[in-house]
Amino acid sequence: MLAFNNVSFGYDEKSKILDNLSFSVQPGEFISIVGVSGSGKSTIFRLVTGLDRPLTGDITLEGNKNGDRLGKVAYMPQQDLLLPWRTILENAYLPLEINGVDKQIAYQQIRPLLKEFGLEGTEDKYPSELSGGMKQRVAFLRAVLSGNPLLLLDEPFSALDAITKLSMQEWLLVQWKKRQSTILFITHDVEEALFLSDRIFLLKNKPVTDVEEIFVPLQGKRTRNDLNRPEMLALKDRLLSTLQSEVAL
């Protein structure tokens, strides 16, 4: 689905952020990207979207090398970036509007999805009238409506309270399975990464030369209790101690 092949990148010539980095993502995978603050997680997303380009190396998306990927991936940043002057229905319509879909046809498509996304009754409300979790669901709905199979989610739940965050994680797993999308998910929360992912990419070194790939040994329906299994606790310890040693670098 997506591959980084020996990618190097820096915002200026002297200080590289990524150095000869390679990894690949298979269709339908849920991958979390974990790394210390400033390590380059959001930079990887900017490279995937094509907002920034590698200095050397190449990035392939569905077999296309270094093509124009803007518009081929759905990017959901940390802040929900809903347009405050548009209603929820109008916000959800945005990606379809950009693709030239007629408003009435689009609204017919969006209305049943609002219900499915737990947003029934909000269509004529404005973003400021919604809770944080609801706004994130609108942003996610908008990403899904873009029709792109690769979703880039940059710490989508970091601003939510603990209980809302847990229910949003469970909701996201249901949506991911249902839609069979491929998800790259940036998080600082090791438990969140373990609960959600097939694999975790742990960014190593400064500049990042490597990702440590951690396979999460949970398949099918997972529950919170699975995080208490001995092998999951051992993985959590390993992730936390590697992150601590990276901070010390």
Contact flag: residue 11 with ligand ATP (CB under 6 A): yes
Contact flag: residue 42 with ligand ATP (CB under 6 A): yes
Closest CA to 73 of 143, 136, 20, 18: 143
The amino acid at 123:
E
State the nearest-atom distance from the C-beta of 32 to ligand ATP, in Å. 13
State the nearest-atom distance from the C-beta of 193 to ligand ATP, in Å. 13
Q: What is the 3-state secondary structure (H, E, C) of 144-190?
A: HHCCCCEEEEECCCCCCCHHHHHHHHHHHHHHHHHHCCEEEEECCCH
Nearest to ligand ATP of 88, 239 (CB atom): 239
Tell me which of 24, 27, 38, 103 binds ligand ATP, using CB under 6 A: 38
Reduced to 3 states (helix: H, G, I; strand: E, B; else coil), residue 105 is helix
Contact flag: residue 5 with ligand ATP (CB under 6 A): no
Tell me which of 2, 4, 7, 17 binds ligand ATP, using CB under 6 A: 17
Tell me which of 2, 4, 30, 43 binds ligand ATP, using CB under 6 A: 43
State the nearest-atom distance from the C-beta of 172 to ligand ATP, in Å. 20
Contact flag: residue 8 with ligand ATP (CB under 6 A): no
Judging by beta carbons within 10 Å of its beta carbon (0-12, 13-18, 19+), is residue 201 exposed, middle or buried? Answer: buried
132-145 and 103-116 helices cross at what angle (nearest 10)?
Answer: 130
Contact flag: residue 247 with ligand ATP (CB under 6 A): no
| Residue carrying structure tokens 């092998």 | 231
Contact flag: residue 55 with ligand ATP (CB under 6 A): no
Contact flag: residue 40 with ligand ATP (CB under 6 A): yes
Nearest to ligand ATP of 15, 219 (CB atom): 15
Q: Using DSSP bridges, classify how beta strands 73-76 and 30-34 pair: parallel, antiparallel or unpaired.
A: unpaired
Contact flag: residue 133 with ligand ATP (CB under 6 A): no
In angstroms, the CA 86 to CA 92 distance is 9
Reduced to 3 states (helix: H, G, I; strand: E, B; else coil), residue 135 is helix
The site that binds ligand ATP (CB under 6 A) totals a number of residues, namely: 10
Nearest to ligand ATP of 37, 104 (CB atom): 37
CB contact at 8 A, 168 and 160 = yes
Tell me which of 37, 104, 128, 180 binds ligand ATP, using CB under 6 A: 37
The footprint of ligand ATP (CB under 6 A) covers 11, 17, 35, 37-43
